[in-house]
Amino acid sequence: MRVLVAIGSNLGDRASHLHSAVDELNRRAGKVCQTSSLYTTKPQYVTDQPQFLNAVLELETKLSPNELLLCFKDIEVDVGRTPSGIRYGPRILDVDILFYGTEIYQAQTSVGPLHIPHLLIHERDFVLRPLLDIAPDFIHPKLNKTIRQLYSELKSNIKTPPVPVLNLGANKHWVLGKKTYVMGIINATPDSFSADGKEHLLNPNVAVVQALDMIAAGVDIIDIGGESSRPGADPVSLQDELARVLPIIKGIRAKSSFPISIDTTKSLVAKAAIEAGANIVNDISAGKFDPSMIKTVAALRVPYIMMHMRGTPATMTTLKNYSNVVDEVINELILAKADAMAQGIPTWNIIVDPGIGFAKDKDLNLLLLRQVNTLTQRCAPCPVLIGASRKKFLGTICNKSNPKDRTFGTAATCSAAVCGGATIVRVHDVAEMVDVVKVSDAIWRD
């Protein structure tokens, strides 16, 4: 049976509690097939309490409605919920049955009355907004209206709508849709195409200083990589990659709690980096290079950037044949996203990247940049990252052979990304691109 379930928390580490709910639902109740984004929401009914973090999910189950309710109550208690004595008051975790297929059902159970569909769906923005992510056209079996219709009717009465967020751990999050985030690149490689990583290998403190300079310039996250992905790059051993990136992550963490992402295709590097203080895993292979990567990221409960590419850095330049590059990249990203969800990464932790410059030539890159809006719409609700900084096709267009001379070309791609609704741009020239993004946001997002 397909069941739609609401989960929420407003005490403690809210995202961690929701992750625990998903894990326990998979273990006890069936299979979580998809999830919405995470939303911060104003409390309703009892307003003098902290904001909630809410989501909805689709569960395939063989349990009856009564069995499911008992299961949900047990999960709430096991995750840490205790009776507050206040109806609609603060709670570690709330797990509610919204719809049980299209059934209309009510019963008196050992833990209280059960009504299916849930009686208050139509008046709860914190339920209807996340439902739009996964079931916008589902028809309420009693009200005979779609979720889209119900939210549209309620929306005019909402003073503070639910806000989609990307969780970065310990109740830190990015608000999505309000601004474009700038990711600053720090390479710790001797063979990066942008030729900017050799000094970091000799002295990690140089990279730490560069990161602090980026933070002062207005960057939103630092992306640290220890293996080049340029065409023809040689593979790097696990030990060498760890030795390159961990001192930089630890050095930044000693001075700042600023968000960090680890650019790696290796699950053991991802795990060590997160344990050292990184917040996000950025994987150009979307899990293809390491069969343990997706399960590892799922267990780490961190956001995962999944990039589109074909082949490897050694072979990708021979794999540029597409009948429709935009459709094919989107479809392959959607398949990769489905695989990640099947292996335990919730939708709210998935970010997609079309892989500008990876198994794509100049014209293919330009086609993708022209249609970032198509990518963001079809991959929704997942945020989109665009990484075109200093890429070879910009040098071809601008006649700039030195990657460091491609700043203005990069600026144009960042502006195109913002216009298309991308959430993150990944760049080398942070100070310049922060200004480009600010102005682009003012034009297209304000």
Distances in Å between the Cα of 68 and the Cα atoms of 58, 60, 120, 277, 359 are: 13, 11, 19, 37, 47
The 8-class DSSP code of residue 387 comes to: -
φ/ψ of 286, rounded to 5, equals 55, 35
φ/ψ of 399, rounded to 5, equals 60, 50
Supply the DSSP string of 307-374, one letter for each residue: E---S-TTTGGG----SSHHHHHHHHHHHHHHHHHHTT--GGGEEEE--TTSS--HHHHHHHHHTHHH
CB 306 within 8 A of CB 289: no
Rounded to whole angstroms, how far apart are CA atoms 413 and 396? 14
Judge whether 148 counts as a catalytic residue: no
Q: Among positive and negative, which fits the CA dihedral 120, 68, 302, 426?
A: negative
If phi > 0 it is left, if psi is from -120 to 50 it is alpha, else beta; for residue 77 that is: alpha
Distances in Å between the Cα of 326 and the Cα atoms of 106, 131, 331 are: 47, 27, 9
Cis amide bond preceding 141, omega within 30: no
* Torsion, CA 236, CA 238, CA 239, CA 243, rounded to 10: 80
Looking at this protein, which amino acid is placed at residue 397? I
- Catalytic option among 360, 390, 406, 426: 426
**CA angle at 262 for the pair 257 and 264, rounded to the nearest 5°:** 170
Judge whether 159 counts as a catalytic residue: no
- Catalytic option among 391, 392, 404, 406: 391
φ/ψ of 93, rounded to 5, equals -155, 140
If phi > 0 it is left, if psi is from -120 to 50 it is alpha, else beta; for residue 328 that is: alpha
Return the active site residues: 391, 426
